[in-house]
Structure formats: C-alpha cells, structure tokens
Structure 1
C-alpha cells in the first residue's frame, strides 16, 4: 500500500527570533516493513544530516537571519507491507531499551497494575495490559504535553498516544521486557490523521511486537516508522533553541493519504 504524507509545522513568534538551531527527526527509512520512494524535509537555513545513536536520520538546521515565522515541511511517498506482523528489526541490542528514563518510570500503583494484568510474560497478556491502559487512560486531546511523564498520565487518567506509549513502555520495562517508543504516521482510511503518531513496541520471543494502545492495533500494517528510541525525547520530530522571539505559537497539519 502506497501512502503520501504531508506534514507541515508552522511556528510564529511575537518578536523577531534569530540564531536558531532545529533538530529534526522526520525522515523515514526503507526496511522490510516499508519502502521510501521519495522524501524531502524543507526547512529554512543551512542543514546537515547524520544518524543518531538509534540509527534515526537526524537533520540539524541553523538559521542566523532574523525571522518571525517559520515553516518546516516533510513530505513524500512510502509503501508499507500490509501483511507485517512484527516491528522493524534493529541491530541495536534490545537490552538498551530496558534503560530507565524520566518519562518511563513506574510508581507503586503502576507496578501493581502491570502485575495484575500480566501474570505471565506472553503477547496475549501484554495485549490485555494495553487494553487495560486505554480503559484507565482514555484518549483525551490537549490535556497533556511533551513534559507529561508516564506516572503523570497514569495518575491523571487521560492522555494521547504519547502518554499511552510511555505508560506501556514503563510497565513492560518494570516487568523486565525491553520496550521502545516509535514515532511515525498512521494510515486511517477515509480520513487524514491530524497529528504525527506514536506507539510502543515490546521485545518478546526474539521479535519486536507492536502495541498501539491508543488504537488497539497490535500489528503495524497501517503504520509508517520514522524514528525509534527509549521515549519521546529520543525521537521528538522537532526540537530547537533560539535567541529572542518572545512567545512562540505552533500548529501542525498532517495528511496521510493512499495514492
């Protein structure tokens, strides 16, 4: 299935900004799950491309001229294997994804929740855990932020795909299973997905399995992989610093369409 992706992120500032650096991870790569036919990231200023520690494509863009608005656009065509069962293979040791991060820690209540729903380390019970997480944390937009941790989301009992992924990862790591955070896009027929997507994957029986808790999808046959890491901060689509600029406002538009 070929998909066309158009992802635009618009920034506006109340004052002139200058001397900014943007770190961009918005470029998918070809693998057994997907084939990238074309892809381009358009961003003002000078840019260079390299790979990060997780083999994600990492663009660094610097802009010295003053500006009051900026648009970063990623677009291209990707074909995915609709029959995929497993997640993308990686040469990285899975045990790296047992490392704790600030966003993927468990409190006592979360540990009890995980043990109650996963009496045995099988994919069947991990699906039960994923379902229970969504029941406990209904999908509610605009109530959390990139700073929200797994503990915060679990206690507040509301969140989005980022929060569901962090909670799933935190509980799986507590259970001793390597778990990773995946950023990308989700194809939903007859609609355009209005934000970039995230899901968790767990290493079990020598393979990575998809746990898209927000949508209760457990195979990645509608997912485009962009970046993989331990949590959101390893794969953030855009991070940056700047001088001045006053108050920043941002909005994004994402379209994932069959072509």
Structure 2
C-alpha cells in the first residue's frame, strides 16, 4: 500500500529569532515493513544528515540570519506492507530498552495496576493491559504536553498517544520487558488531517510486538515508522535552541493519503 505523507510544522515568533539550531527526526527509513520511494525535509538554513545512536535519520539545521517565522516541511511517498505482524527488527540489543528514563518511570500505583492485568507475561495479557490503560487514561487532547511523564499522565487520567505509550512502556519495563517508543504516522482511511503518531513496542518471544494503545491496534500494518527510542525525547520530531525570538507559537498539519 503506497501512502503519501505531508507534514508541515509552522513556527512564529513575537520577536526576530536568530542563530538557531534545529534537530529534526522526520525522515522514515526503508526496512522490512516499509519502502521509502521518495522523501524530502525542507527547512531553512544549512543541513547536515547523519544517524543517531538508535540508527534514526537525524537532520541538523542551523540558521544564522534573523527570522520571525519558520516552516519545516517533510513529505514523500512510503509503501508499507499491510500484512506486517511484528515490529521492525534492529541490530540494537533489546536490553537497551529497559533503561529507565524520567518519562517512563513507574510509581507504586502503576506497578499494582500492571500486576493486576498481567499475572503472566504473554501477548494476550499485554493486550488486556493496553485496553485497561486506555480505559483508565482516556484519549484527551490538549490536556498534557511533551513534558508530561507517565506517572503524571496516569495520575491525571488523561492524555494522548504519547502519554499512552509512556504509561505502557513504564509498566512493561517494571514487568522486566524491553519496551520502546516509536514515532511515525498512522493511515486511517477517509481521513486526511491527522497528527503525527506514537505507539509502543515490546520485546518478548524473540520478536517486537506492536501496542498502539490509543487506537487499540496490535499489529503495525497501518503504521509508518519514523524513529525509535526509549521515550519521546529520543525521537522528538523537532528540538532546538535559538537566540531571542520572544514568544514562540507552533501549529502542525499532517496528511496521510493513499496514492
């Protein structure tokens, strides 16, 4: 299935900004699940492309001249395998994804919650845990931010795909299972305006299993992989620093269309 993706991120500043550096992870790679036919990331300034520690494609863009607005546009065509049953394999040791991060820590209440739904480690019980997390932390836009941790989202009982992924990853790590955060896109037929997406994957039985808690999808056959890490901060689409600029505002538009 061929998909066309258009992801635009627009920034505006109340005062001119300058001397900025942007770290951009918005480029999917080809793998056993997907073939990238063409892809381009358009951003002002000088660009350098390399791979990070998780083998994600990482663009560094620097801009010296003053500016009051900036647009980063990623677009291209990716063909995915709709019969994919498992998450993509990598050369990384899965044990890396047991490392604690501030976004994926568990408190006592979360540990008790995980123990309740996963008395034994198997896929069926992990699916039940994913369903329980969505019931306990219903999808609620605009109530959390990228800085919200798994414990905070669980406590306030609201969040989006990023929060669901962090909560699920935190509980899986507590259960002794390597769990990773995946950023990308989700194809939903008859819907063109979406947001960039995130889901979790867990390693056991020598395979990576998909757990898209927000959508209750447990195979990645409608997903496009962009980046993999331990949490959101390893895969953030755009991070950066700048001089001046005053107050920053941002809006983003994503289209994922069959072609």
Secondary structure, aligned partner of 1:8:
strand
The within-5 A match list for 1:19-168 is 19-168=19-168
Which ranges in structure 2 are unaligned for 5 or more consecutive residues? none
Q: Which residue of 2 aligns with 1:255?
A: 255
Given that 1:181 and 1:199 are in contact with CA atoms closer than 8 Å, whether structure 2 keeps it comes out as yes
Q: Deviations over 1:225-248 (max 9, x none)?
A: 000000000000000000000000
Q: Could you list the runs of 4 or more consecutive aligned residues of structure 1 that deviate by over 2 angstroms after TM superposition?
A: none
Q: Which residue of 1 aligns with 2:236?
A: 236
CA distance in structure 1 between the aligned counterparts of 2:196 and 2:240, rounded to whole angstroms: 18
The within-5 A match list for 1:163-242 is 163-242=163-242
Equivalent residue pairs, number: 259
CA distance in structure 2 between the aligned counterparts of 1:111 and 1:55, rounded to whole angstroms: 31
Q: Deviations over 1:15-49 (max 9, x none)?
A: 00000000000000000000000000000000100
CA distance in structure 1 between the aligned counterparts of 2:133 and 2:90, rounded to whole angstroms: 27
The Cα shift of 1:194 comes to 1.9
CA distance in structure 2 between the aligned counterparts of 1:194 and 1:132, rounded to whole angstroms: 25
Given that 1:187 and 1:193 are in contact with CA atoms closer than 8 Å, whether structure 2 keeps it comes out as no
In the superposition, the TM-score normalised over structure 2's length comes to: 1.00
In the superposition, the TM-score normalised over structure 1's length comes to: 1.00
The Cα shift of 1:193 comes to 4.2
Q: Deviations over 1:178-209 (max 9, x none)?
A: 00000000000000242100000000100000
Which ranges in structure 1 are unaligned for 5 or more consecutive residues? none
